Amino acid sequence: SAVISQKPSRDICQRGTSLTIQCQVDSQVTMMFWYRQQPGQSLTLIATANQGSEATYESGFVIDKFPISRPNLTFSTLTVSNMSPEDSSIYLCSVSPRQFFGPGTRLTVL
């Protein structure tokens, strides 16, 4: 299975600011996915990142709020923009085809 790392592991941010989360994989993968897990909840898919094309966003998530980059086959970033306390969650990346998850980024917005 692919080894996935994420940075930062956690952060505390002020409302109105932005945070960029990095996801690095130890092998080339076609698809990378970003999920959100709100406190005590299940996981929700934010978007799918395919190298060389625009990310595909799920209903309820927009590019202006969650811009994604996928510059190569081993790396992706998710930015959480103009943050509010409702954005406090764990953000996780995963890769296809068998979807293993990175360690997650625990974000707290004050």
Partner 1 sequence: GENVEQHPSTLSVQEGDSAVIKCTYSDSASNYFPWYKQELGKRPQLIIDIRSNVGEKKDQRIAVTLNKTAKHFSLHITETQPEDSAVYFCAASRGGGADGLTFGKGTHLIIQP
Contacts with partner 1 by CB under 8 A lie at 1, 30-31, 33, 35, 41-45, 48, 58-59, 92, 94, 96-104
| DSSP state for residue 15 in the 8-state scheme | T
CB of 105: closest distance to partner 1 in angstroms? Answer: 11
- Which CB sits closer to partner 1, 75 or 101? 101
Q: How far apart are CA 39 and CA 30, in angstroms?
A: 30
- Which CB sits closer to partner 1, 54 or 82? 54
CB of 57: closest distance to partner 1 in angstroms? Answer: 10
- Which CB sits closer to partner 1, 18 or 99? 99
Contact (CB, 8 A) for 41 and 55: no
Residues 75-94: b if buried by 16+ CB within 10 A, e if exposed = ebbbebbebeeebbbbbbbb
